[in-house]
Amino acid sequence: MKQMLLVFLGGGAGSVLRFLISKTFNNSFQPLFLGTFLVNIIGSLLIGLIIGLTLKGNYLTENQALLLATGFCGGFTTFSTFALENQSLLKNGDFLHFTLYTVLSITFGIFAVIGGFWISKSL
């Protein structure tokens, strides 16, 4: 029960922060959905860092990892929103922004996870 509560609390905090970032950046930089892009890249970096520190040992407990990785990052990142935004770009025939948004999000997301692991090794 404690672990479910940790995931719930972390997920709520991540969702609220995602909402604030998306609200701030998505409307200003259309049609690139900069807020969603930033959230996904930051979330990828964070989950790499959190899991890297957890695997390194003596940095994060299992409960802290549940709160931060499963809860916070799970609520914070927005793959379903990313997919919906891409569907919107395709529906509008905006293939250039669809391609740019998809390739950049996936590429930067993967490198952010690698970066998070790399940062955790140097701590």
User: Binding site for Na(+): residue ranges?
Assistant: 74, 77
Binding residues: 74, 77
CA distance 86 to 61: 37
What's the chain's length in residues?
123
d(Cα 101, Cα 121) in Å, to the nearest integer? 30
Question: How close are the terminal C-alpha atoms of the chain, in Å?
Answer: 32
13 CB neighbour count, 10 Å cutoff? 16
DSSP 73: I
